[in-house]
Homo-oligomer: A and B are copies of this chain.
Amino acid sequence: MEKPNIKILLAEDDPNLGTILKAYLEAKGFPTTLCINGQEAYNMYLKEVFNFCILDVMMPVKDGFTVAREIRKVDKKIPILFLTAKTMQEDILEGLKIGADDYLTKPFSMEELLLRINAIHRRTSPEISGDSDKTFFRIGKYSFDYSRQILKIEDQEQKLTSKEAQLLKMLCDRINDVLDRSEALTKIWLDDNYFNARSMDVYIAKLRKYLKDDPTVELLNVHGKGFKLIAD
């Protein structure tokens, strides 16, 4: 039962601390992506799916607060933990206002960090579902706004129906990984039967049509398993 599979987005400009943290977290079983500034972190956030953010407050190019605000716009739930230099109480206040789940003042012990991550994650996601609360995604040249149900490429907007949007979101949550047929059917169509499976096929075909304008994006079938959305 103990299979957390929390993917961590870590933004830390000090390469020393950054690599140490990444190594530590991965040793503890959390796949971690390290970004060396806020801009890079935000781009990474849109492209892949994470379950936890650790953001240094002071970073070049884009500070941690700005990143957090941008992330909060499209994901109200993902846990955010700030790393802030000691003595900066105002920082803490600012961060909490944005909706941080916790903060740590440097220097801190790795163990403390681990404790916080586990505590937060225990509260925020009792069930391991594979689905995020993200609502905005990048798929190659496309951008996909799930809550507005809009798929855009170079100012060309395609309005999506709710079923189309649900399915595409589920594919995005597992980008470059297979989405199980029966999982999608149970979650979106509420029943895994022959007719719903045919219906799903129709929607896959529609999504392929919408996504054909960027050749690097592919929605491929994994025979007998499900579908995989491929993008840079």
Given contacts A109-B102, A111-B119, contact A73 B232 (CB under 8 A): yes
Do the beta carbons of B223 and A89 come within 8 Å of each other? no
Q: Taking the full assembly, how many copies of this chain does it contain?
A: 2
Do the beta carbons of A96 and B162 come within 8 Å of each other? no
Name the CB-closest residue of B to A163. B223
Q: Can you show 22 pairs from A to B with CB atoms below 8 A apart? A: A19-B93, A20-B96, A23-B93, A23-B96, A27-B97, A27-B98, A27-B99, A27-B100, A73-B232, A101-B111, A102-B111, A109-B116, A111-B119, A111-B123, A115-B119, A115-B123, A147-B176, A147-B230, A148-B218, A162-B222, A162-B223, A162-B224
**Quick one: which of B96, B109, B120, B148 contacts A24, CB cutoff 8 A?**
B96
List residues of chain B with CB within 8 A of the CB of A224: 162
Binary B-proximity of A145-165 (CB < 8 A = 1, otherwise 0): 001110000000000011100
A205 interface residue (CB < 8 Å to B): no
What is the CB-to-nearest-CB distance from A201 to chain B, in angstroms, rounded to a whole number? Answer: 16
Given contacts A162-B223, A223-B162, contact A20 B111 (CB under 8 A): no
Q: How many residues of A contact B (CB 8 A)?
A: 47
Name the CB-closest residue of B to A27. B96
Do the beta carbons of A93 and B20 come within 8 Å of each other? yes
Interface residues of A in 151-199 (CB under 8 A from B): 161-163, 176
Interface residues of A in 214-232 (CB under 8 A from B): 218, 220-225, 228, 230, 232
